[in-house]
Structure 1
């Protein structure tokens, strides 16, 4: 991976990006900044949010208090986004960077803390000379985008009067709150008073993925976090996530990630 394919910097001063720069940008804003201007449209007093900025647009970032870090600006080349691991994500360059509106995601407090930790690790890795640095960076980017897809408020990028989009939003909220209780699409469809078939149709139209994949990705988000950032046993994690047995949890995890939970934990601690 070349040095100019990924760049990250703290938001401590005004930044200008021209469409000629040919990089995608992810702007994570923790503390309030004066604003961000995209194609001459100014968004004022933004905080606790992520902007995904297409490389075809011109944008300006107006920092907050001088010398105070207000977040991170992550710039990615097209080559990075075409990496096989990232291209498999539901939240990819097609969804994020090729939309008619600029995606702005509001983060929940818990995800905000994790987002900051991931970006800090990317910043640290880019300045290091560690072996396998490229794989580690892609893994961190993958985790970052998965968190965005699983936890961000999709109402920020949908039309309020779009009935199917509202159903999808409600579905994602229900999954977030009840994932331990049920892993079945039918459970959520019944709570929305619609059929499983229609729920899947809505999710396919709005997000271009299946309704089941939302449940799977939410389970993967939580299991990855527990394996990486807690000392809970795999057995404890499996029951915490609503799996009937640790063996079934291991089967689910390996089927969807290619590695078993113990391998994931070992790679995170190495």
Structure 2
């Protein structure tokens, strides 16, 4: 893997997907000032503070308002970067956000997370244009931090099928945490809300997300 193959650019005007010799996966963070993003001829509006994970199979266009200010970033990643060992245990890698062609993988960022994401992408933009010592390690570290933030916001509903009961339960668990995190801090309380045992809830979370149920509660807190 070579860091030189990673590309990043601020969204300053209308942007259209392009095919290249090496097809890039596109991570699109939209901040403000976007009319809509069009993906495979479907328009998505009201997309501020969203991150889209777009495979080379998607045809997409970003339609920007008439302003010169940046409206986010486009991060172009070759497949080799996603296979980096540090990224393999992340949920976004395990469920292959970048391989979904049936639905549009998208997450929404809260205002606090949005500011952190902006700082990370601004630093990536700066580092990719320099030749500083240990540049590659710094870039990979920033990418990993960005993915960790995305991981915490994963909405696995996109990947749920009718016969995937464990994934469906984990999705419900995450929704319950979002609703009750200030009230309930223990796994047993959520297991009771979901009419399952603590053990089974932990088993499902471990299988679907590769972590334990308590860590999801702690992360939200």
What TM-score range do you get, normalising by the shorter chain?
0.7 to 0.9
Distance (Å, rounded) in 1 between the aligned partners of 2:141 and 2:3: 17
Aligned to 1:139: 141
Distance (Å, rounded) in 2 between the aligned partners of 1:55 and 1:186: 42
Show CA shifts across 1:228-257 (max 9, x none). Answer: xxxxxxxxxxxxx8xxxxxxxxxxxxxxxx
Show CA shifts across 1:153-206 (max 9, x none). Answer: 555x36699976564234224556649975x6444323433223442465467x
Q: CA deviation at 1:133?
A: 1.0
Q: CA deviation at 1:12?
A: 0.6
- Name which of structure 1's ranges 41-50 and 138-147 shifts more when overlaid on structure 2: 41-50
Show CA shifts across 1:194-232 (max 9, x none). Answer: 223442465467xx33461x544775x68xxxxxxxxxx
Question: SS in structure 2 opposite 1:69?
Answer: coil
What 5-or-longer segments of structure 2 have no aligned partner?
Answer: none
Show CA shifts across 1:133-152 (max 9, x none). Answer: 11111111111111111135
Distance (Å, rounded) in 1 between the aligned partners of 2:51 and 2:41: 19
Q: Is the 8 A contact 2:33 2:67 kept in 1?
A: no
Question: SS in structure 1 opposite 2:137?
Answer: helix
Is residue 56 of structure 1 aligned with residue 50 of structure 2? no
- Name which of structure 1's ranges 145-154 and 96-105 shifts more when overlaid on structure 2: 145-154
Question: SS in structure 2 opposite 1:92?
Answer: helix
Q: Is the 8 A contact 1:52 1:104 kept in 2?
A: yes
Within 5 Å, which residues of 2 pair with 1:1-270? 2=2, 4-20=4-20, 22-92=23-93, 94-99=95-100, 100-155=102-157, 157=158, 167-175=169-177, 178=181, 182=185, 185-200=187-202, 202-203=204-205, 208-210=208-210, 212=212, 215-216=214-215
Distance (Å, rounded) in 1 between the aligned partners of 2:12 and 2:23: 22
Q: CA RMSD in A?
A: 3.1
Distance (Å, rounded) in 2 between the aligned partners of 1:159 and 1:38: 21
Q: Is the 8 A contact 1:91 1:149 kept in 2?
A: yes
Q: Is the 8 A contact 2:107 2:153 kept in 1?
A: no
Structure-2 change in CA distance of 1:66 and 1:119 (3 Å):
same
TM-score (norm 1): 0.68
Q: CA deviation at 1:34?
A: 1.5
Distance (Å, rounded) in 1 between the aligned partners of 2:66 and 2:44: 17
Show CA shifts across 1:109-136 (max 9, x none). Answer: 1111111111111111112221111111
Show CA shifts across 1:43-66 (max 9, x none). Answer: 134211111101222211222223
Aligned to 1:232: none
Question: SS in structure 2 opposite 1:34?
Answer: strand
Number of aligned residue pairs:
217
Q: Is the 8 A contact 1:6 1:77 kept in 2?
A: yes
Tell me: higher relative CO, structure 1 or 2? Use CA pairs within 8 A at least 6 residues apart.
Answer: 2
